[in-house]
Chain A
């Protein structure tokens, strides 16, 4: 079975592109299963259900959704195998730009919305820089020149990725993504992350609500960049 992890900011078009990609995959005889990890609420499962594929959702609640997805990868893969899936498509919540929830052995797909402007590829960090495929969406709303400038910026941030100019409404680009998926190898045994998860070992992580500095322990970074460890 293959593993595809689809990440990108909320509203960038992940579900829309995946819907078209699922149609393409099914047409070529591959049976996909979909997992959607979100924080508090999602109705993406209803959208995927319309395509008649196995769908499972996970809500991470007060945990970083990317961390949650990583902890649960084995269970999710197991579930997909039980569904007899040929490929597991994992749509992430895409909220935390420091987390890039891509294991080494998957196809890492970053979906990014062109209308957010050509500086965005520089802002999204490992989500984009460690992706195999970058899918740009909503090019229908901007001029050709803006699409080309955006593409150039994606290339600057990630030289080696394959860029697909897609459209979540018309489905443009989805068959290309499905083709890449069908050519990729199966997922291995020992997965490890491409990029370390961000520092998150402080009193805020364990529920501290008070803002004043005196209440915080752990690895703390100051606005001037100075990082210290406070505690025992």
Chain B
């Protein structure tokens, strides 16, 4: 199978039907790109265009190229050939199956071994508070547990050179660890986020408004410094959150 060395997004139209402001966005392996913008500005639509490898056939009219070419139909549709993994914004599973049954079916649909199933569950359990079991019914999992399982499933079963992540911060799972898990080296990674730490951890960020791309900003050295300061603050908040979650007291906590 051919290697992916470039993902190209050719601009379409925004919600008012006007051309987007950035004609073409090229992303190469090893790069993490952020997608930011107000709620409803079209961030999720942007990454689902990539997931579908749209060819001007969605309301945004964007076209997605792989290695500079429009991908063929089987690459667009067959999960065995599709090389894109997407963690969507959905918080729950609707399938009426056990965790194990579901993961086995998914492994089959992606041509993977069944021994990946155990690995998915054990990774999921490093991201969530209360453990997920193979014989749990998918539909009883909490939002956080579901997200943790979806993230682990993507890291193992859907392991793909292009990874799309939609608001990993929104379910109370360990966001930095989850990002590290999904955004391994050599991949093309797009992260939709409202979180300033995650946004500044990327090399570039795409700014959305009214359904269209408005600009692409490269993270400056100054912003990287801000990011490092924010990381410290964020870790501190995380540790407080953990203490409170475990039923501990935080009276001694210092305000930085």
Contacts and interface: CB of A to CB of B under 8 A. Distances in A.
B94 A145 contact: no
Given A145-B106, A165-B77, A115 B94 contact: yes
B94 A148 contact: no
Contacts of B110: 148
A179 B252 CA distance: 67
Contact of B77 (A163, A170, A174, A175): A163
A153 B54 CA distance: 24
B150 A145 contact: yes
Nearest to A116: B94
A222 B157 CA distance: 45
Contact of A149 (B88, B102, B150, B154): B102
B94 A144 contact: no
Determine which residue in A117, A143, A165, A170 has the highest number of CB atoms from chain B within 10 A of its CB, and name it.
A143
Contacts of A119: 96-97
Contacts of A74: none
A142 B158 contact: no
B94 A142 contact: yes
A176 B58 CA distance: 12
A153 B109 CA distance: 9
Given A143-B88, A149-B102, A118 B59 contact: no
- Which secondary structure characterizes the binding site on chain A? helix
B57 A144 contact: no
Contacts of A153: 105
Contacts of A175: 57
A171 B58 contact: yes
B48 A145 contact: no
B158 A141 contact: no
Nearest to B149: A145
A172 B58 contact: yes
A11 to B, nearest CB: 15
Contact of B85 (A142, A144, A151): A144
A171 B61 CA distance: 11
18 contacts: A117-B95, A117-B96, A119-B96, A143-B87, A143-B88, A143-B90, A143-B150, A145-B153, A148-B109, A152-B79, A152-B105, A152-B106, A163-B77, A171-B58, A172-B52, A172-B54, A172-B57, A173-B57
Interface of A: 115, 117-119, 140-146, 148-149, 151-153, 163, 165, 170-176
